[in-house]
Homo-oligomer: A and B are copies of this chain.
Amino acid sequence: MADIATRVYNHKWKIDPIVRSLLDTDFYKLLMCQSVFRNRPDTHVSFSLINRTTGIRLADLIDEGELREQLDHIRTLRLTRGESTWLRGNTFYGKRQMFRPDFMEWYENLQLPPYHLEKRDGQYELTFEGRWPEVMMWEIPALAVLMELRGRAVLERMGKFELQVLYARAMTKLWEKIERLRPVEGLKLADFGTRRRHSFLWQDWCVQAMIEGLGPKFVGTSNCLIAMRRDIEAIGTNAHELPMVYAALAETDAELRQAPYRVLADWHEEHEGNLRIILPDTFGTTGFLKNAPDWLAGWTGIRIDSGDPAEGAETAIAWWKERGEDPRQKLIIFSDGLDVDVILDLHKRFAGRAKISFGWGTLLTNDFRGLVPGDALAPFSLVCKAVSANGRPTVKLSDNPNKAMGPEDEIERYKRVFGVGVQQRRAVVV
């Protein structure tokens, strides 16, 4: 029997908007947002979309009207009562009431601020400006929209069964990865793939497949909406955005040098246990660790998000030993450009030497490589970053110069201040 009411409702309104909830975002965004809301609420920031894969001319592939429609739809979203209840009542990382009443009240009234959209050189210039806590909430949905609209443009030309076989192939591909991961003893792995996913429904499928296929080895998802709907852990801590903006706000080189630690000091006050994860690479890992205060060595773990991951983990292990900590009690989270081979290699190398865990992103939720002619569904490197704070440009160096961002002269200044020497270039896949 056809459900007539549903069919008629679907006539009137688009089925499957790309972003369907304010919770369809990464959990760490909420943690960071609360921290910003508390510590730096009045900072004026500008976020900008940057397509690092310039060969993909998004403005030629994606219709501007459709893009505006999806972005406008996101501005109509409000936190629902059920979503709010989940955030207020759920336990995150073992803690009740992770989100404080004043933050929740603000979030319940949040509407995402206006966006600015222009075409330039075959790309979209998409920027968001305003108060930091509001603007930062655009990052994940904006990325998801651009990534999916590019995919939809390709899917639109395909037949019904061609489409079914496309998804059949993608499912098989993921399942084969799961089958390779299943026998790995002690594996811990989470979904970090919201931002550059193929689509919401596909990410949701991937998560469910991991629940069935990996059991307790699959520890959760960064996506709040999926965590809520599938009743699993929401995973995530913090990101480069915090040190980037804190650094941009620094008045002197001395303040700049201290900015990344200032971020973590604020974090230290608020969080404990598995939420105390160092992200050391914003301005170069080596200098960051060398100059870090001793209390940071007492944190639970570290997240390796750029550079050679094995090297990064060795550096962290050596640093812990140097500071008198036992690396076997520490957690190393790998989250950069992961796929099964890399996961298996890193697990083999580090299991037993530290607690390790993987945040598997784009190649979990968007591995459509090789599935259509011209590889038109392969994921690409799209980011949405804070580019200025209170009128000053931000900078990111990371451990891979191909991921560096910011004005040339500021990059040089940051390199000098943070004592960054020669870095090895690595291809950025996703």
Interface residues of A (CB under 8 A from B): 1-3, 5-6, 159-162, 164-165, 167-169, 171-172, 175, 208-209, 212-213
Contact = CB atoms under 8 A, between A and B. Distances in A.
Contact of A161 (B3, B5, B212): B212
A161 B1 contact: no
A114 to B, nearest CB: 34
Contacts of A171: 164-165, 168
A6 B6 CA distance: 14
A162 B1 contact: no
Contacts of A168: 167-169, 171-172, 175
A216 to B, nearest CB: 15
Copy number in the complex reads 2
Given A1-B6, A3-B1, A172 B165 contact: yes
Given A164-B171, A169-B172, 9 more contacts: A160-B208, A161-B175, A161-B212, A162-B175, A165-B171, A165-B172, A168-B169, A168-B171, A172-B172
B6 A161 contact: no
Contacts of A169: 168, 172
A229 to B, nearest CB: 16
A159 B212 contact: yes
A394 to B, nearest CB: 42
A164 B168 CA distance: 8
Given A3-B1, A5-B1, A209 B172 contact: no
B212 A162 contact: yes
A209 B209 CA distance: 25
